Chain A
Amino acid sequence: MAMDLASVTSIWLAALFTIWAYSYTFRDNMWFKFAEHTYVGAAAGNLIVLGVDNVIRYGWIPLTKGSMLYIVVFLLGILLFSRYHGKYFWISRFPLALMVGIGIGLSMRSTVTSEFIAQIQSTATMKVLGVDPWTAFSNLIFIIIVLCVVYFFVFTFPGIHTGRKGYISKIARYGMMAAFGYSFANGFLSRITMIFGRLDFLKAQWLPLPGAMVALPIVLILLVYAMIPAEKRPWPKPKPAK
């Protein structure tokens, strides 16, 4: 199936930017910098467009339909920009305080239930009896490590971490190290999946396009050349320092 010009152009651009962006893993170079700056610029542009779209969709349209309360919202929004004024910057604190207050109020209404009570309940109701041996063992380890880690973070009485009692903190440290190891392994898995996604894109969408197989070595040669330190390159020579 023939592809339209816009699709072909976007695939070429995506492919080139992918290669340039990942080239940083080998060495910093001008192609990477170009990709980085372009990405930041494009992201900022996209954010502005979406911001304006949001103001129109959720502010301006309801206002034009007669919801006069939105005038207050617009006024508060405009007041946020007063922070750029040397004398009246303090006015921006009012809408900001309102936003922070609403945010905290909304998250606090269920934080205690969802992140405190529910977690304690689930740990306290863990069974070590009447379940299969493996679950019992796993739950027992879980309970021991939870208790030890809680103990580890009691800083009020330094004496409780010394001598024989120090073993509890040691168990907690091993437990936390295991959790960090699990985090690291998962982090690695995430990165690998992301890299695979881009390589798969290059293989499945870019390389089958006409000219891509010829372009690939050229792009790579240019990249390797850009990775050579400026003073060792035959051309262009670095500008002498003034």
Chain B
Amino acid sequence: MSKQEKNIWEKLENLPREFLYGLLLIAFILPMINPIGLPLPITPEVKKWYDTIEALPNGAAIIIDQGYSGGGEPECGPFAVAVYHHIFKKGGLRVIGVATTQEGPLLWDKAMAEVNPEKYGRKYGVDYIMLGYFSGVETAMAALGKDLRALTSTDYKGASLDQYPIMQGIKGATTFDLLICYTTGGDQSEGWVRQWYTPYKTPYLCNVLALMMPTMLPYQKAGQIVSLTKGAQAGEMELLVKKPGRGIASADVMTMTGLLVTAFVVIGNIAYFARRASKKKA
């Protein structure tokens, strides 16, 4: 009996990965085909992010770092899209996009195609603009903060910035009312604290990959970030903005797969302790 038990626990501990991934795939596909519609509560961080943008005065300038990579787009992208919807819907705000990752300008185009600012009556060069990719991460952030116009005279398509009304009065960090960063890299999320918040006290909203949250939370606790959110909270922002998209669609999947992996962890632990106990008995 003891030997039989041992075998069961051992088998449970060494389940083939193909089997586990197969189950995970089913947990993905089922809620995608048949959405369960589980409730999605709005967390204080997302509400604070929303309220910060809502409180901006007419004509306020926002600098946005489109700082996520292509690989991180499925996580950060939906949140960014929901925020763009909010900004363009509110109106009267000037959005100046920059990118500290190479794919940034491409992903900006993707996000703009999804949002379609023209639908809200916003125009390129008047309400929003993308200045392009700036290499050097913190060196670039410092230079942007000091004098953005000295760093570049063109937008990401090579057109002169002088022709765009949005750039009037825009110089360095002191001319911006808000800094937003969506990123998949710690260099960016922490770099903005060091190069913009600390010297210029620019209010800072930061959206990162969920796995970056533990390293970024101390900055929020110290008041250096107004609101820190993870890309996986996109559904909450979509609910606030009333623009259902990829975020809400992923909520059921995240819950189902989360439950499944929790079950894996519990079973794995039971098997480990049971095997240890049966070994001791023997």
Q: State A198–B254 Cα separation when bound (angstroms).
A: 14
A199 vs chain B, min Cβ distance (A): 6
A46, A194, A196 pick with most chain B CB within 10 angstroms: A196
Determine the residue in chain B with the shortest Cβ distance to A117.
B222
CB distance from A35 to the nearest CB of B (A): 13
Bound complex: CA of A194 vs CA of B230, how far in Å?
Answer: 13
Query: Quick check: A190 and B195 within 8 Å, CB to CB?
Result: no
B130 to chain A, nearest CB (A): 13
Contact with B along A84-118 (1 / 0, CB 8 A): 00000000000000000011001101110111001
Known contacts A189-B258, A203-B32: A47-B211 contact under CB 8 Å: no
Choose the segment among A50-58, A72-80, A160-168 that binds chain B (4+ C-beta atoms closer than 8 Å): A50-58
The reply to whether B210 and A110 form a contact with Cβ atoms under 8 Å apart is no
B215 to chain A, nearest CB (A): 8
Does the CB pair A57–B194 fall under 8 Å?
no
* Contact mask for chain A residues 36-58; partner B; CB cutoff 8 A; 1 contact, 0 none: 00000000001100110010011
- Could you tell me which residues of chain B, from 206 to 222, have a CB within 8 Å of some CB in chain A? 209-214, 218-219, 221-222
Stretch at the interface among A151-159, A179-187, A208-216, A232-240: A179-187
- Residues of A within 8 Å of B28, CB to CB, are 195-196, 199
Contact bitstring B240-273, A, C-beta under 8 A = 1, else 0: 0000001001100110011001000000000000
Instruction: Determine whether the beta carbon of B250 is less than 8 Å from that of A193.
Output: yes
The docked-state distance in angstroms from the alpha carbon of A107 to that of B219 is: 16
In the complex, the answer to whether A196 meets B254 with C-beta atoms within 8 Å is: yes
Residues of A within 8 A of B66 (CB): none
Task: For B18, list chain A residues within 8 Å (CB).
Answer: 26-27
B169 to chain A minimum Cβ distance, whole angstroms, is 23
Contact yes or no, A114 B193, CB < 8 A: yes
Q: Which of A58, A61, A186, A190 has most B Cβ within 10 Å?
A: A190
Q: How large is the interface on B (under 10, 10 to 19, 20 to 34, 35 or more residues)?
A: 35 or more
Q: Are A189 and B73 in contact (CB under 8 A)?
A: no
Do A197 and B73 have beta carbons less than 8 Å apart?
yes
Contact yes or no, A186 B139, CB < 8 A: no
Cβ contact within 8 Å between A200 and B232: no
Q: A110 and B214: CB pair below 8 A?
A: no
Given contacts A194-B71, A196-B74, A199-B28, contact A106 B246 (CB under 8 A): no
Which residues on the A side are within 8 Å of B261 (C-beta)? 188
Residues of A within 8 A of B71 (CB): 194
Interface pair B194/A111, CB less than 8 Å apart? yes
Complex-state Cα separation, A54 to B151, whole angstroms: 12
B245 to nearest A CB, angstroms?
A: 10
Inside 8 A of A197's CB, which chain B residues have their CB? 73-75, 77-78, 246, 250
Chain B residues within an 8 Å CB radius of A135:
none
Choose among B73, B151, B158, B230 the residue that contacts A186 (Cβ–Cβ < 8 A): B230
Whether A200 touches B32, Cβ cut-off 8 Å, given contacts A187-B210, A192-B254, A193-B231, is: yes
A119 at interface by CB-CB < 8 Å:
yes
User: Please, which residues of chain A bring their CB within 8 A of the CB of B223?
Assistant: 118, 122
* CB-based nearest B residue for A198: B74
Q: Please measure, in the bound complex, the distance between the C-alpha atom of A51 and the C-alpha atom of B22, giving whole angstroms.
A: 41
Residue with the greatest number of chain A CB neighbours at <10 A, chosen from B74, B193, B224, B246:
B74
Which residues of chain B from 113 to 152 have a CB within 8 Å of any chain A CB? Answer: 132-133, 135, 138-139, 142, 151-152
| The 5 nearest A-B residue pairs measured at CB | A197-B74, A122-B222, A110-B198, A187-B211, A189-B210
8 A-B pairs, CB-CB below 8 angstroms? A26-B17, A54-B135, A58-B152, A106-B195, A122-B223, A186-B212, A196-B32, A196-B74
Residues in chain A within 8 A of chain B (CB atoms): 25-27, 46-47, 50-51, 54, 57-58, 61, 102-103, 106-107, 109-111, 113-115, 118-119, 121-122, 179, 182-183, 186-190, 192-201, 203
| 20 further A-B pairs in the complex, CB-CB below 8 A; given A61-B153, A122-B223 | A50-B102, A106-B195, A114-B193, A118-B223, A122-B218, A186-B211, A186-B230, A187-B210, A190-B211, A190-B232, A193-B75, A193-B254, A194-B71, A194-B75, A195-B74, A196-B32, A200-B74, A200-B246, A200-B249, A200-B250
